[in-house]
Amino acid sequence: MTADPPVRVRFAPSPTGRLHIGGLRTALYNYLFARKHGGDFVLRIEDTDQARYEPGAEDDIREALAWVGLEYDEGPEEGGEFAPYRQSERSDLYREYAERLIEADRAYYAFDTEAELEEMREDHGAYDVTTRRHMRNSLTLSDDEVERLLEEDDFVVRLKVPRQASIHFDDVIRGGVSFDASEVDDQVLLKSDGMPTYHLANIVDDHLMDISHVIRGEEWLSSTPKHVLMYEALGWEPPAFAHLPLILSPNGGKLSKRDANQLGIPVYVGDYRTDGYEPAALLNFLALLGWGPGTDEELFSLDEMTQAFSLDRVGASGVQFDLDKLRWVNEHYVRALSIDELAQKARPYVEAEGYEVSDERLRTICELVQDRIQVVPEVATDNRYFFEAPDEYEEAGVEKRWKDASADLLLAYAERLEAVDTFDTDTVETELRDLAEEKDVGAGAVIHPARLAVSGRSYGPGVFGLLAAVGKDACIRRMRRAAEVLG
């Protein structure tokens, strides 16, 4: 009995822009599959599209993978047995295999221009017989004429798709998949600048790098028949294919950049880092965006995901992106941080808002709000009252909590606080309860106005901790102002 080949998978992004959130999910599934089976996870940069190449994009890809902790075994910087790992550094290989396909009568030289083809497509459609016949004009030329044109004119190499055939392959996620050859275009394999297209380069590299499983997005499903034809023509065993479900917009349809921007959903991985999401939470959320563990469990460390992951449990149907669910997942990771970790992560956001605060006071604030925030920046952005006086008061809170006696009680409480030497949680509580007893009112009659005055809100962390964290002078000023403004 023949042993299964070692598992080798690749994440092969194109450096034409920053790493998309869908790309990170693809990288994650490849990583989990490799680690689950003790295999190799390869990073390969598919930079054959020089016209769309964006400087800095490759760095963004590597930095995003490092941020979330997806370490690859081979890649452009790490090297490996199958180097180089940038396709632009492997171009001679692709020409060789394009020639092999031509010799096998499975590809051909074509001299049509893109402008001519675009006009044909507009008139007849991409797969119309007339369009395909025009593509194959060079097949009617004599060998001498072809040689002359190769020397004098620009040319491309196209895949010669059978006229009448059914192209079948098995997909780990979708089962058996078939395409009618009439729906498959004669794909350009080698461009006029000598660079390969993705379609030629990826099958050559996957074969030469011993890739066992190609795990990629559903958008590549319709290209797979072309790849299967090339594997067959070159006499190679294709890898196992697994096409992941689309990530859908909450409004339906594929999650486009435009939809995402309108819905406030970050598109690029780097934006989640900037917005203060925990990398482990983002991976946890993305893992469940297409895969299910078969249990009700929803929170996983990377090691736990690795142990539970299986391509058999990845669905074929598209999955809607739910930002609220991501925030819920992130909330759990924020709560698991130590206070020191949270304060360290929060400091850049606090300073970016223009606030100066000591380490000790920031830790105190973090301790008060940790269970009330979903992302780290909210330490500053959703709790500004720790750093500056409110400029307005919550209308519903005032209506419900501010009574006829509130101003007088608040002023009396401010006077008591002004007289104390120690301003801590115990002191502010003692003074408040003594005042309530003296005035023969419930403690809430002072607590609620005090909270409104200091934070502008009727909700938040414990009021005594809140007052102590804001500080004596600030609390007194805010109480007197609220008494004046609210009356």
Q: What is the tens place of the pLDDT at every residue in 292-303?
A: 998 999 999 999
Residue 348 lies in a domain: no
Give pLDDT, residue 151.
Answer: 76
The Cα–Cα gap between 481 and 41 comes to 62
Query: How many C-alpha atoms does 383 have within 13 Å on its Cβ side?
Result: 28
Per-residue model confidence (pLDDT) at position 461: 95
Residue 82's pLDDT band (boundaries 50, 70, 90)? Answer: very high
Whether 289 is covered by a domain: the verdict is no
Residue 68 is assigned to a structural domain of this protein: no
Q: What is the spatial distance between Cα 350 and Cα 387, in angstroms, rounded to a whole number? A: 9
Position 217 scores a pLDDT of: 96
pTM reported for the whole predicted model: 0.91
What integer is the mean pLDDT of 342-348?
98
Residues 189/197, Cβ–Cβ less than 8 Å? yes
Residue type (1 letter), 433:
R
**Residue 259 domain flag:** no
Region 322-347: what's the mean pLDDT?
A: 98
Average pLDDT over residues 118-147: 61
Final residue of a domain: which of 244, 270, 305? 244
List the catalytic residue out of 36, 254, 257, 439: 257
Name residues whose C-beta falls within 8 Å of residue 148's C-beta, 6 or more positions apart in sequence: none
Lowest mean pLDDT among 61-75, 143-157, 166-180, 365-379: 143-157
pLDDT band at 125 (very low <50, low <70, confident <90, very high): low
Average pLDDT over residues 280-293: 97
Q: Which residue has the higher pLDDT, 52 or 352?
A: 352
Whether the pLDDT of residue 1 is over 50: the answer is no
d(CA 171, CA 126): 26
- Per-residue 3-state assignment (H helix, E strand, C coil) for the chain: CCCCCCCEEEECCCCCCCCEHHHHHHHHHHHHHHHHCCCEEEECECCCCHHHCCCCHHHHHHHHHHHHCCCCCEECCCECCCCCCEHHHCHHHHHHHHHHHHHCCCEEEECCCHHHHHHHHHHHCCCCHHHHHHHHHHHHCCHHHHHHHHHHCCCEEEECCCCCCEEEEEECCCEEEEEEHHHCCCCEEECCCCCECHHHHHHHHHHHCCCCEEEEEHHHHHHHHHHHHHHHHHCCCCCEEEEECCEECCCCCECCHHHHHHHCCCCEHHHHHHCCCCHHHHHHHHHCCCECCCCCCCCCCHHHHHHHCCHHHECCCCEECCHHHHHHHHHHHHHCCCHHHHHHHHHHHHHHCCCCCCHHHHHHHHHHHHHHCCCCCHHHHCCHHHCCCCCCCCHHHHHHHCCCCHHHHHHHHHHHHHHCCCCCHHHHHHHHHHHHHHHCCCCHHHHHHHHHHHHCCCCCCCHHHHHHHHCHHHHHHHHHHHHHHHC
In CATH, what number is assigned to the domain containing residue 443? Answer: 1.10.10.350
How many CA atoms within 13 Å lie on the side-chain side of 484?
7
Dihedral angle at the C-alpha atoms of 399, 404, 407, 409, nearest 10 degrees? -120
pLDDT above 70 covers a percentage of the chain that reads 93
CATH for 112: 3.40.50.620
* pLDDT of 182: 87
Q: Are 272 and 266 in contact (CB under 8 A)?
A: yes
pLDDT at 138: 65
Task: Tell whether 4 is covered by a domain.
Answer: no
C-alpha distances in Å from residue 162, one per residue of 103, 176, 185, 227, 238: 16, 20, 10, 13, 19
Q: How far apart are CA 228 and CA 187, in angstroms?
A: 13
Domain termination residue (choose one: 244, 266, 288) = 244
> The dihedral of CA 349, 350, 354, 359: what is its sign?
negative
Domain annotation covers residue 464: yes
Confidence (pLDDT) at 366: 98
* CA-closest candidate to residue 216, choices 33, 423, 27: 27
For a pLDDT cut of 90, what percent of the chain falls above it?
80
Q: Mean per-residue pLDDT for 128-139? A: 57
Q: For the residues 244-249, what does the mean pLDDT come to?
A: 95
pLDDT given for residue 133 in this prediction: 56
Q: Which residues contact 463 (CB under 8 A, 6 or more apart)?
A: 447, 450, 451
**Residue 427: band (very low, low, confident or very high) from pLDDT cuts 50, 70, 90:** very high
**Cα separation of 446 and 451, whole Å?**
9
Task: Give the number of C-alpha atoms closer than 13 A to the C-alpha of residue 275, restricted to the C-beta side.
Answer: 18
Structural domain span for residue 127: 91-244
Give per-residue pLDDT as tens, 139-187: 766 677 777 777 777 888 999 999 888 999 999 999 999 999 988 988 9
Is 77 inside any structural domain?
no
Look at 254 and 473; give whichever has higher pLDDT.
473
Is 52 a member of any domain? no
Q: Please say whether the beta carbons of 315 and 364 come within 8 A.
A: no
pLDDT band of residue 52 (cuts 50, 70, 90) is confident
Q: Is 257 a catalytic residue?
A: yes
Query: Looking at the predicted structure, is the pLDDT value of residue 199 above 60?
Result: yes
* pLDDT category of residue 123 using cuts at 50, 70 and 90: low
**Confidence at 268, pLDDT banded by 50, 70, 90:** very high
Count how many domains the chain has: 2
Higher pLDDT, 306 or 294: 306
Domain stops at, among 244, 276, 294: 244
pLDDT at residue 319, rounded to an integer? 95
> b/e per residue, 267-299, with b = 16+ CB within 10 A?
bbbeebbeebbbbbbbbbbbbbbbbebeeeeee
**Residue range 206-212: mean pLDDT, rounded:** 98
Q: Measure the CA–CA gap between 80 and 57, rounded to whole angstroms.
A: 22
Q: State the pLDDT at residue 3.
A: 61
Whole-number Å distance between alpha carbons of 262 and 258 = 6
Q: Which residues have C-beta within 8 Å of that of residue 265, sequence separation ≥ 6? A: 250, 255, 259, 321, 323
